[in-house]
Amino acid sequence: MDSKLIGIIGLGQMGSGIAQVTAAAGYKVVAREENEELLKKGIGRIAKQLDRAIEKGKATEADKSSLLGRISTTTRLEDFKDCDLVIEAIPENVELKIAAFKTLDGICKQSAIFASNTSSLAITDMAAVTKRPSQFVGLHFFNPVQIMKLVEVVRTIMTDDQTFGNAVKFAESVGKTVVRAKDSCGFVVNLLLIPYLIDAIRWYENGLTSKEDIDNGMKLGCGHPMGPLELTDFIGLDTILYIGDIMFDEFRESRFAPPPLLRRMVKAGYLGRKCGRGFYVYEK
Ligand SMILES: NC(=O)c1ccc[n+]([C@@H]2O[C@H](COP(=O)([O-])OP(=O)(O)OC[C@H]3O[C@@H](n4cnc5c(N)ncnc54)[C@H](O)[C@@H]3O)[C@@H](O)[C@H]2O)c1
């Protein structure tokens, strides 16, 4: 495992988590950002996570320095030429992702596997612009990556068995449990979760009951740790709207259609916890 080099494009919220769990599993990592400042920020996020683990007695200073020592940083995609696997975690914009994979295709060795961490875009759209569509998968990690146990490993109709098997092995080797999925919009988790959240917003909008009663109903009646409106605030109303629109475009089924209230709240800037107000108001 130690000899494998894993490239990570984008050292934001997800990319830094993926880099951390990958380096923790013993892999060498090369991470790319747009500039040195963003690289510093990404590495800083990982260091802070590790400091917290040290405070809790779950890691030592030596663990931290050896983990960070396995992550090198760069602003040049050319430094990905020896990677065995490249995981993309740049913003959810298909043009940006396609441009990155087109460039990488000309740089990376022939055997390298490409993976996207997209939550809602079609893996096929990205795989199809490369000369290695059979070596392309989705590796959908969950946020926060260090804590969430799941990775959805996604195959398109072009992905070959060996690539898919290696992608599953990789996800398991970084300590995750794998769910296998076809390249269908929302994969498994969002396919089931988004209509549920949208339905809760729709019933709240229709005046079924209060937001607290909707959330308590699902927490106390079903044992969920968060109610659907609390969870929507946690994920971000803009994110739910964005994914709902993409899923509705794909399936044309009303259960995926974002309700008017969600759209109005996003327009009003009520994006959830991250901005202090969504369905609930949060202390800054
Ligand atoms: N945030 C989540 O909860 C979550 C969960 C699962 C999947 N995802 C997916 O992961 C991806 C990244 O999301 P995020 O929340 O980490 O976003 P983010 O904005 O925190 O990070 C993206 C990073 O990519 C960098 N970047 C942009 N273009 C780049 C390029 N060409 N090369 C290298 N770096 C580049 C940006 O500077 C930024 O730091 C998205 O596709 C998103 O849908 C997000």
Task: Say if residue 2's pLDDT is above 70.
Answer: no
- Give the distance (Å) from ligand 1 centre to CA of residue 95: 13
The dotted CATH code for 190-274 is 1.10.1040.10
Task: Say if residue 104's pLDDT is above 50.
Answer: yes
Query: What is the per-residue pLDDT for 188?
Result: 97
At 208-225, the pLDDT tens digits run 999 999 999 999 999 999
- Domain span(s) for CATH 3.40.50.720 in the chain: 5-182
- Give the distance (Å) from ligand 1 centre to CA of residue 219: 31
Task: Say if residue 74's pLDDT is above 80.
Answer: yes
At 152-193, the pLDDT tens digits run 999 999 999 999 999 999 999 999 999 999 999 999 999 999
> Which whole number is the average pLDDT over 123-136?
98
Query: What is the per-residue pLDDT for 283?
Result: 86
- Band of pLDDT at residue 1, cut at 50, 70 and 90: very low
- Find tokens 């398991």 and name the residue: 172
Query: What is the per-residue pLDDT for 39?
Result: 98
> Which whole number is the average pLDDT over 62-77?
97
Ligand 1: which of 11, 13, 126 to mutate, most ligand atoms within 8 Å of CB?
13
Nearest-CA residue for ligand 1 atom 15 is: 13
Query: What is the per-residue pLDDT for 214?
Result: 98
Nearest-CA residue for ligand 1 atom 3 is: 143
Q: Which residues are annotated as catalytic?
A: 119, 140, 152, 190
Burial class (CB in 10 A: 0-12, 13-18, 19+), 50: buried
Give CA separation, 38 vs 15, 153, 200, 269, in Å.
Answer: 12, 28, 37, 26
* Count of beta carbons in the 10 Å neighbourhood of residue 37: 9
- Give the distance (Å) from ligand 1 centre to CA of residue 111: 25
Query: What is the per-residue pLDDT for 3?
Result: 66
Strand partners, 114: 86, 136
Burial class (CB in 10 A: 0-12, 13-18, 19+), 65: exposed
- Give the distance (Å) from ligand 1 centre to CA of residue 88: 8
Whole-number Å distance between alpha carbons of 167 and 156:
13
Nearest-CA residue for ligand 1 atom 25 is: 10
Ligand 1 nearest atom to the CA of residue 99, by list position = 31
Class of domain 5-182: alpha beta
DSSP 117-183: --SSS-HHHHHTTSS-GGGEEEEEE-SSTTT--EEEEEE-TT--HHHHHHHHHHHHHTTPEEEEEES
Max CA pair span of the chain: 58
Ligand 1: which of 8, 14, 154 to mutate, most ligand atoms within 8 Å of CB?
14
Find all residues with CB under 8 Å of 191, minimum gap 6, and list them: 184, 185, 247
Q: What is the mean pLDDT of the chain?
A: 96
Nearest-CA residue for ligand 1 atom 35 is: 10
- Domain span(s) for CATH 1.10.1040.10 in the chain: 190-274
Ligand 1, residues at Cβ distance < 6 Å: 9-15, 32-34, 38, 89-92, 96, 100, 117-119, 141-143
- Find tokens 């929507």 and name the residue: 232
> Which whole number is the average pLDDT over 81-101?
96
- Give the distance (Å) from ligand 1 centre to CA of residue 226: 25
Whole-number Å distance between alpha carbons of 174 and 26:
9
Amino acid making up residue 200: A
Q: Is the dihedral of CA 140, 142, 147, 151 positive or negative?
A: negative
At 13-55, the pLDDT tens digits run 999 999 999 999 999 999 999 999 999 999 999 999 999 999 9
Nearest-CA residue for ligand 1 atom 6 is: 142
Ligand 1 nearest atom to the CA of residue 17, by list position = 16
- Contacts of range 252-261, beta carbons closer than 8 Å, 24 or more positions apart: 255/195, 255/198, 255/199, 256/194, 256/195, 256/198, 257/198, 258/198, 258/201, 259/198, 259/201, 259/202, 259/205, 260/205, 261/201, 261/202, 261/204, 261/205
At 229-281, the pLDDT tens digits run 999 999 999 999 999 999 999 999 999 999 999 999 999 999 999 999 999 99
- Give the distance (Å) from ligand 1 centre to CA of residue 38: 12
Nearest-CA residue for ligand 1 atom 4 is: 143
Whole-number Å distance between alpha carbons of 206 and 212:
15
Ligand 1 nearest atom to the CA of residue 14, by list position = 16
Helices (H), ranges, 56-93: 61-69
Q: Which two tokens stand for residue 14?
A: 């997800």
Q: What is the pTM of this model?
A: 0.93
> Which whole number is the average pLDDT over 106-113?
98
